[in-house]
Structure 1
């Protein structure tokens, strides 16, 4: 009986196994389309990234800066040669004049050499990029053949429709000009806007010394009318102990410092050290935040002496009242010195003003004297920088890595504040550590992450001006 049951079970297991094997289903998958070339798409993306880096606007503006420097330098040489021809006495005067002209021609040659090398580099980049773009176009057209659902074509059609719609809207509602700041005592009219960057240069230290300031003296000493100055925070991005000079814009652009450095002290940080980037030159003297003090220092270039002006009690210093954006604060920007047509100003904040901007006029002298003071309702750490133009205070704020906005103005004459100025600055580096307005040529000089950039201030002409 037991043997019979075991035999039956064995037969049943064998039959079941045979049925399972015979009923096994196999499916074959056949792809109707071509395999998408992901490796080619990655190559296209890398090539597009290379094109973007080669076509940065900084490189074009660098070339324009060199041309501007040459344009300003050649008339000076022509004038000096003409003067030599008229007044050459054949003796000492002629020798000295020839020496000056020789130095000028050397500087011009260096400028032209840099201009030629930059031009050749740009030509090579243009040729290479043009070929890259042609190759990218062909590869993208090939990749579009994989778009069987025509998603790309629909996106392109949508983009054209959006562009046409924007043009239609702008036609019906023209773009408004930036809000006009209040009237001030300005010989040029109202501050209306600023240009695209006019000068862009790293000078002799490309990528080094992130913090600093530069500009021109609005009231220069005789013989120094064409000079430019630069302060570089060489110690921990906080301190400096000298001011550097350039005889012309072209020498600044190509990084040739003549007559060189004027030292305040042999080293830093120590007594009379420059603290922070917000410095200005006016009347042959450098104004800056004294080291470790709530005070303004004035360094005379002629006497090489420093005098000090103490600011009101409660003035924030040593990085307690910095300019800031949402991500970071700019260290040691507690005191911002500014110049305009009327002289020197200082922007700061105090504990009594709960961190709001305070504006004071500095009266010339050794030491300078604190003149009239005004208080505002704008919080200093919500501001990235300030500058004065025609007696009006302007403040900026960070929008993104490419744009800064001049959003605020304060008129000391009327006491009027405006928070909707809406003038936008195109940046060539993410951060602006210092802004200086030059009434000599109505330029706004910015120090941006070690680069020197300048903008032309555009004024609305008064009715009686041509």
Structure 2
């Protein structure tokens, strides 16, 4: 049984080894498109990198530093020369002054030489970079020919569309038309921008007194919570001698004084009458600047009595 199995296997192996081998298949692919010049692209990238590394803000900073130094040295040299002309004694002082001026002039000449050399380097660098940019531009135009999928053109189109869209949003090229107003019977058109109503009143003394004070007692006596007060400057736009009371704010607006005036003194002005519009009614008493004094008067509206407080010097 074992011999019967081994013989066919040996025959199969022998037959397999004697079978002829197949030949290798080789295909040649010829592209209709040009081979992309990767070396040229790397060269362009290298040129751009060189331009970015050569042009730095430090170049401008160095030139500005030299100009600033020269701008400060020249006025100093002029001052030293003028001082020498005025105070030259023909002896040691004049010699020392000339030596100082000579040193300053030497430093100025050195700055000028540095400026000239730096400016010359910048001009050469600008010329070199300009030439490189022209070469990069030409090479990029050649590389765009390999853009068979038109990716670059698509990006340029997208940028242009985005720019046009921004301009449209800003109403630069295509302003938003204003809605047309419907026709109306009024020959002057419709009312526009109507705001909330505002009411103005001339008060009880229209045009008579330009200055004064008014308000409501924040700490009123019982039963006088709605009372308002008015102190018009009845003399010289800065003097007064009475307080006018109103039962409500509406009464103050329309000029109906109830209960009326509370007289501080019959004369205006006199001692302890009101000077200036800086008045306030608090707790049933009027506080104000006493006439022609550096004191504060307190006039009790109920008892009609006056107390004073001396202000500190300089207030």
TM-score (norm 1): 0.31
* Greater fraction strand: 1
TM-score (norm 2): 0.44
* Greater fraction helix: 2
Structure with the greater relative contact order (CA < 8 A, sep ≥ 6): 1 or 2? 1
